[in-house]
Amino acid sequence: MKGEPIVILLVEDDPAHTEIIKRTFEESRLANRLTAVEDGQAALDYLHRKGKYHDDVNFPMPNLVLLDLRLPKVDGLEVLKIIKSDTKLNSIPVVILTTSSAEADMVKAYEWHANSYLVKPVDFTQFNKLMNTFGYYWVVWNQYPHDA
Amino acid sequence: MAANTNGTSKRKQAARRLRSIGKTALRYNIGVRFFSFVVLIALLSGGVVGFVMVRTSRDYLRRQALQNNLNQANLAASFASNYIAAVEAHVKVFATRPDIVQAVFNGQAAQLQPTLAEFVQVQTALNGVGIYDISGTQLSSSLTGAANIGQSFINRNWFQGVIATGQPYLGTPTLAQSNNVPVETYAVPIIDSQGNIRAVLAAGMSLTQLSNALVNIGYNADTQAVLIDTRNGGNIIADDSSALLLTAPVGDTQAVNQLLSGKSGSLATTGSNGKQDLTGFAAVPGLPWGIMVETPSSAAFSILTSLTERAVIYTVLIILLAGIFGVFLVLGITRPLNRLMADTKEIGAGNLDVKLETAAKDEIGDLSRAFGEMTVKLKSTMVSRDDLITEVTERKQAEEKLKNQFAILKGIIESPLTPIFSVDEKYRYTSFNSIHAGVIKSIYGTDIEVGKSILDYMLVAKDRDIAKANFDRALNGEHFSDEAYSGEESLKRSYFIVSHNPVRNDEGRIIGVVVFAQDMTERKLLEQEKDKYTKELAEKNIELERFTYTVSHDLKSPLVTIKTFLGYLPQDMTAADKQRVEKDLLFMNNAADKMGLLLQELLEMSRIGRIINPPVKITFAELIKEAISIVAGSIADRGVKVQVGGESVTLYGDRSRLTEIWQNLLENAVKFIGDRSSPQIDIGVERHGSETVFFVRDNGIGIDPQYQSKIFNLFEKIEAKTEGTGIGLAIVKRIVELYQGRIWVESKGLGQGTSFFFTLPGALSDKDKGGSA
């Protein structure tokens, strides 16, 4: 496990947030590889290996998807729905990471088989703590099938 | 009850009176006439028959008696003739007996007495025989004692007759002295061989026997026979009455004369006593005699008389019997007739309970029976008439009741303020209240009438079909309520809740439908409005939710950014990583700017519909001109050609808001115009049916159809990197909806250009208000 970093696909439209998440992962020094796309459509294209995402070296298939809900073009929930409906993709854990703590969003996310639902804390410490915990959990402890 | 009894007894009295009147009238009419008729018939027939019979019988009896008398006279004459001839023959033979003749010749006639006596004894018809000499002196006699011997009988006609004629001669009658019996002497000459008369033998013939035979036998009690010697004017020689012997015959001179002249015949003669006699008369052959048989006509007609008497008696008896019978007959006829009449009168007086006696098996019985049957029928008729009267009365009452009930019903159906009507199985009105009539008038513009089909009044085919289907359901026995939406579009399309109720007759057959309708138009409109508001509210809620969500998410995002980079800042500063610190500050600055923009736009957004400028009239051209002038800078930068067309439309509303629509759409179009060589934006108005549709069309990058539904959402951006917050189209949509319009986008995809269409009915409908600007 150690030798093979966990590939995480981050779907986040806000470049500031992408920066924050990248930074927390860097600081945690966990063996992982974070790839970011900024809208839903791009995420789907990535997963479906469409266009430039056909390149397995630069865009390897992720072990985990970190998905924001409010996305341009294709909404986060829609992306979730498509992933979980696709037998080739539905084994990939999808963790929702969003600013929305709306009940409706949570319910819908779990209905569509989101593996976890995390709300971005406004507080810096909290955000850091969350990302560390997330890292340990999903990168260190969580086990992924080899041929995912 | 008392009145009824009184009425019955009165009726009975009337009937009794009528019966007695009927009786008297009948007695003097039919009874008497009938009785008189019977008697008259009996008398007339009896009289005529009697008269004819008597008349016929009298003639017949007269003829019979006359013939009878003649026959008897002839018979008697014949008898007398034979009788005398026989006696004369004996006498003649005796006179020629040799001993007699010898004795006479010898003069010994006197000694002949025993011979003569013997002869007289044998010949019972002879009284005595004597022999006389030619001088008339008696020579011998059959009588003993010989008192007359020697006496001369020369003056006797029988002696003179014989001497004169030389022939036997019958002397005229005389009465025998001995027994007063008529005697005729038959004298016969005793002649010698030379033919000289030598003596005369005279035999006295007693006519007693003959008389008895002629007079007493074979006649009717009243019939008498008279033997007459026609010589010397006639002498009765045999008669019932010995007193008349040897007297001249009396009675009918005509008959006597004829008899005396030797004729035979019969005559009805009137005797000296004035009585009629029926006389038959006949001459006795060979003798100077005649016989007369007389019957008094009274005797001859005695049978007739007694017959007549009996006839009279019988007639009287018959009349009596006929009278009695007649009385019974008349009573037999009149009594039932009287009864019948009385009953009839009583029936006529109204008492139909009178029982007619129908025992008699005659015509009256038949009449009575027929009448009885008629009465029974009449009674039943009267009963049915009474029933009819009762029924009529009841029906009248029922009708009255019905009328009242109808009035009540009418009152009832008029009472509620909702339409009520009923139809029969052919959808024809059987009733309706004025509300219903008013409704039909208001929604179809026609006046309705009972008897006409409601369907004919429903001028909208759809309404008619629905109504017919509903009536048919009810006519199939279903009770139900349903909504109906009917009426002419141009008049007043109205909503109703209609309750259909089948109407059944006594037999349970459905004969129509009663419909209660409730005009729900007002309520429906309210409901519709409510629905609209509810929907709007729901939409607003969703929008609000989305707004809240968006706000919470989109405003939170820069906050998270600021807070986090603020968190990194001290450590980056401690690490003296200048690059990092600048980056942190840039992120924080951008986030703060974004927040400021978002807040400004949110404020702007919230102002739409909240802060409204007074509405003004503004032409489409003016609005476009204003919008273009605002966006003129960016249009010029990109070198976009803007073309405005379409008809001139005047709008009425918040001028700045209306301008904002085109302003935002123009900005959006310019933003996504792409890098075409000849970018162009067309602005105009189109007519889509009755709808006025505005459009803003560009030949820019276009929109992927899959994202077209999202573009009007607040803070929705198709491309994350494009400038702006994604509020422009949300604002446009908000303003369009403020004017009850809708907005949609058409694009065939990327690179195909985009067309925004929208309507503004709220701004257009007020275009003619004018003045208030």
Enter the ipTM.
0.86
Nearest CA-CA partner of B208 in B183, B245, B244, B229: B183
pLDDT of residue B180: 74
CA B461, CA B51: separation in Å to the nearest integer?
Answer: 112
Q: The domain spanning residue A49 has which CATH number?
A: 3.40.50.2300
Q: Token match 């009717």: residue?
A: B220
A27 lies in some domain:
yes
β-bridge pairing A94-98 and A64-67: parallel
Alpha-carbon separation of residue B641 from B111, B227, B551, B665, B676 (angstroms): 232, 200, 37, 15, 12
Is the pLDDT at B426 greater than 80? The verdict is yes
Is the pLDDT at B28 greater than 70? The verdict is no
Residues from chain B contacting residue A98 (CB–CB below 8 Å): 553
pLDDT of residue A67: 95
Is the pLDDT at A45 greater than 90? The verdict is yes
CA B207, CA B80: separation in Å to the nearest integer?
Answer: 10
CA B484, CA B521: separation in Å to the nearest integer?
Answer: 10
0.80 exceeded by pTM: no
Helix (H, G, I), strand (E, B) or coil at B191: strand
Mean pLDDT of B32-57: 75
Contact across the interface for A14 and B561, Cβ inside 8 Å: yes
A71 lies in some domain:
yes
Q: How many CB pairs lie under 8 A apart between chains A and B?
A: 75
Confidence of residue B23 (pLDDT cuts 50, 70, 90): low
Contact across the interface for B718 and A72, Cβ inside 8 Å: yes
Mutation site for A-interface testing, chosen from B550, B555, B560 by largest number of A Cβ within 10 Å: B560
Confidence of residue B358 (pLDDT cuts 50, 70, 90): low
Confidence of residue B1 (pLDDT cuts 50, 70, 90): very low
CA of B725 vs chain A CAs: smallest distance (Å): 11
Q: Token match 């690490």: residue?
A: B575
Contact across the interface for B720 and A38, Cβ inside 8 Å: yes
- Highest mean pLDDT pick, A2-16, A104-118, B248-262, B540-554: A104-118
Mean pLDDT of B74-87: 83
A54 lies in some domain:
yes
Q: DSSP class of residue A62?
A: P
- Check if the beta carbon of residue B330 is closer than 8 Å to that of residue B31: yes
- Check if the beta carbon of residue B342 is closer than 8 Å to that of residue B15: yes
Confidence of residue B8 (pLDDT cuts 50, 70, 90): low
CA B552, CA B560: separation in Å to the nearest integer?
Answer: 11
Contact across the interface for B564 and A101, Cβ inside 8 Å: no
Nearest beta carbon to residue A17 from set B545, B549, B557: B557
pLDDT of residue A31: 67
Least confident of B135-139, B581-585, B606-610, B692-696: B606-610
- Report the domain count for chain A: 1
DSSP-derived secondary structure for B580-612: HHHHHHHHHHHHHHHHHHHHHHHHHHHHTTTS-
Q: For the segment B649-677, what is each residue's pLDDT rounded down to a tens digit?
A: 889 888 888 998 999 999 889 888 888 78
Residues from chain B contacting residue A27 (CB–CB below 8 Å): none
- Check if the beta carbon of residue B182 is closer than 8 Å to that of residue B173: yes
Q: For the segment B265-322, what is each residue's pLDDT rounded down to a tens digit?
A: 888 777 666 677 778 888 888 888 888 887 777 776 777 777 777 777 877 787 778 7
A42 lies in some domain:
yes
Contact across the interface for B553 and A99, Cβ inside 8 Å: yes
Least confident of A134-143, B310-319, B403-412: B310-319
Helix (H, G, I), strand (E, B) or coil at B755: strand
CA A81, CA A90: separation in Å to the nearest integer?
Answer: 9
Contact across the interface for A100 and B549, Cβ inside 8 Å: yes
A38 lies in some domain:
yes
For residue A109, the enclosing domain spans 6-140
A146 lies in some domain:
no
Query: What's the token pair of residue B168?
Result: 């036997």
Helix (H, G, I), strand (E, B) or coil at B79: helix
pLDDT of residue B308: 73
Mean pLDDT of B734-762: 88
Q: Which domains does chain B show, CATH number per domain?
A: 417-514 (3.30.450.20), 527-607 (1.10.287), 616-764 (3.30.565.10)
Alpha-carbon separation of residue B329 from B324, B358, B370, B485, B714 (angstroms): 8, 17, 21, 95, 134
Mutation site for B-interface testing, chosen from A25, A68, A105, A124 by largest number of B Cβ within 10 Å: A124
Mean pLDDT of B705-713: 81
pLDDT of residue A106: 92
Is the pLDDT at B4 greater than 60? The verdict is no
H/E stretch holding B86 reads helix B32-95
Diameter over CA atoms, chain A: 40
CA of A44 vs chain B CAs: smallest distance (Å): 14
Helix (H, G, I), strand (E, B) or coil at B171: coil
Which positions in chain A have a beta carbon within 8 angstroms of at least one beta carbon in chain B? 13-14, 16-17, 19-20, 23, 38-39, 69-75, 98-102, 104-105, 120-125, 127-128
CA of A23 vs chain B CAs: smallest distance (Å): 10
Q: For the segment B497-533, what is each residue's pLDDT rounded down to a tens digit?
A: 889 999 998 888 899 999 988 877 788 788 888 888 8
Confidence of residue B442 (pLDDT cuts 50, 70, 90): confident
CA B152, CA B505: separation in Å to the nearest integer?
Answer: 156
CB neighbours of A89 closer than 8 A, spacing ≥ 6?
A47, A82, A83
Alpha-carbon separation of residue B571 from A69, B283, B429, B577 (angstroms): 30, 224, 94, 9
